[in-house]
Structure 1
Amino acid sequence: MTKLFSPIEFNRVELKNRIVMSPMCMYSCVEQDGKITPFHETHYISRAVGQAGLIMTEATAVVPEGRISHEDVGIWDDEHIEGLKRLNEQLHRYGAKTGIQLAHAGRKARLDSEIFAPSPLAFGESSKTPVEMTKADISNTIKAFKDGAERAQKAGFDIIELHGAHGYLINQFLSPMTNKRHDEYGGSRKNRYRFMSQLIEAVKTVWEGPLFARISTNEYDPNGNTLDDILYFAGQMKQQGIDLIDCSSGGVVPAAVKRYPGYQLKRCETIKQEASLPTGAVGLITTGIQAEEILQNDRADLVLIGRALLRNPYWAKAVADELNETLPAPHQYERGWQ
Structure 2
Amino acid sequence: MLGILVRRGADFAAAEDAVQDALVEAVRVWQADPPRDPKGWLVTVAWRRFLDATRADTARRRREGLVDEEPAAGPVPDTDDSLQLYFLCAHPSLTPSSAVALTLRAVGGLTTRQIAQAYLVPEATMAQRISRAKRTVSDVRFDQPGDVATVLRVLYLVFNEGYSGDVDLAAEAIRLTRQLATSITHPEVAGLLALMLLTDARRAARTAPDGSLVPLAEQDRSRWDTRQIAEGVHLLQTALARDRVGEFQAQAAIAALHADAARAEETDWVQIVEWYDELVRLTDNPVVRLNRAVAVGEAEGARAGLAALAELEDSLPRHTAVAAYLHERDGDLGTAARLYADAAHQAPNLAERDHLTRQAARLNAELSR
The TM-score with structure 1 as length reference comes to: 0.29
Q: Which of the pair is proportionally richer in strand?
A: 1
Structure having greater relative contact order (Cα 8 Å, sep ≥ 6): 1
The TM-score with structure 2 as length reference comes to: 0.27
